[in-house]
A and B are shown apart, each in its own frame.
Chain A
Amino acid sequence: MTKFIAQATEYLPLLLHGVWLTVVITFVALCLATALGLVWALFRTSGIRSLAVPTRLFIDFVRGVPLLVILFYIYFVAPDIGINLTALQAGMIGLGLAHSCYLGETFRAGIDAVDRGQVEAAKSIGMKRPLMMRRVVLPQALKIILPPYANNMVMLLKDSSLVSVISVQELTMQGKMLASSTFDNMTVFTLVALLYLCLTVPLNILMRRVEIYLGAGR
């Protein structure tokens, strides 16, 4: 045990850069996924077929392809059509895009779960759709969406380890490199796992707090 702690303190600084990159990737991808997801959900619930149907096909398509393949596609195929991305950019876009589809469905379900009477009440005082969404539907959908959203956030953080396959040196990748140079698999990967937990556990706690806070509104 003391040996583990001694070695861990030696490896930790080497892994911290990976932690930082994991956080950045997760954060950027989450912002992208949330913004796009909201767009998908609004398209899907718009009642306008020319928006709803293509969005649905796109979501089904992305959800039906493994995230790894999406990452390869964006990183290796995009240059062929003249889009050059760094591995980091490709990773963040790929993660964001894939999760925007998962989140889009979560958001849509939340919007659909808001009582129809609310929409009618909003219309009956003359609200147009954008105002109705902003003032009436989305605030109520938020409470329904939040638990699955938090769940998704943790999944996204864990999925960020996949971008190591396109050689982004985030936490998992750094762990792998460190392990192969020290041959100390046990310590390094235990440390990597613990570092991931240090990120996900506070996220879970934070979200539970927010949920309780929102629930206390009534």
Chain B
Amino acid sequence: MIIFDDVHKSFGAHEVLKGISAEIAKGQVVCLIGPSGSGKSTLLRCVNGLETYQRGHISVDGTVVDAASSQVHAICTRVSMVFQRFNLFPHRTSLENVMEGPLYVLKEDRKQVRERALALLNRVGLADKTNAYPASLSGGQQQRVAIARALAMRPQAILFDEPTSALDPEMVGEVLQVMRALADENMTMLVVTHEIQFAREVSDNVLFLDGGRIVEQGPAKELLRHPKHERTKDFLHRVMHPV
């Protein structure tokens, strides 16, 4: 479904991704973990063309992602993204946020889009917030609207960039729950996260990224319980025992 083949990416002289190869099968949930600055966001953003990369290939369902080509918009309609800081459109209500893409990008029928958007908001537990503006919602609610917005595009895969790190602790659960439900419905998901427990319980595979390289990858339960590399052990220890 999503294939990384020796992907290299630099910002100027600073090489951030140093040959990433990995594969995410349809219906899989893959968590991307690693220390700050290791290139997790950058890798994710290359998948839907928010960043360009210089060498190698990323392909989504057989289509090569090339941010410079006009094709990249087509990729975005098939791969949605959920951001750390939600990035909801502040001048539109929850419902309008969710309807925006299908209505104006996919140019679908307004009535059907509206019905689907209402159903999606209901699914993320926000049926009573359809006419609320983002500023009047809590972080957890905003992120759930953002997930509904991503789903409204009927994507083949969803990218999550630290979807819970900007949230107050008591709101992390409600967002993870929605993501877990998506995973259960076999949505293909690539998730950057520091929620190790979520990774262990929900994801199929885990990629550990450090310094622009995949240091270790494998089935979530195995990698997170019995990491092979020193750096992975170190990182996991630090994440799970912060003090």
Contact = CB atoms under 8 A, between A and B. Distances in A.
Verify that A and B bind, or say they do not: yes
Interface in B72-95: 73-74, 76-77, 80-81, 83, 85, 87-91
A186 B77 CA distance: 69
B100 interface: yes
A218 B133 contact: yes
A87 B76 CA distance: 53
A152 interface: no
A187 interface: no
A115 B84 CA distance: 14
B104 interface: yes
B88 A126 contact: no
A95 B239 CA distance: 62
The SS class assigned to the A binding surface is helix
A135 B81 contact: no
Given A120-B50, A218-B90, A218-B135, A128 B73 contact: yes
A197 interface: no
B104 A135 contact: yes
B49 A117 contact: no
A136 B92 CA distance: 9
- A: contact size bracket: 10 to 19
A125 B90 contact: no
Interface in A74-128: 115, 117-118, 120-128
Contacts of A218: 90-91, 133, 135-136
A117 B87 contact: yes
Contacts of B199: none
Given A121-B83, A125-B150, A128-B73, 6 more contacts: A124-B76, A125-B76, A126-B77, A127-B101, A135-B100, A135-B104
9 closest A-B pairs by CB: A125-B101, A121-B87, A126-B76, A126-B77, A117-B87, A124-B81, A126-B105, A218-B135, A126-B73
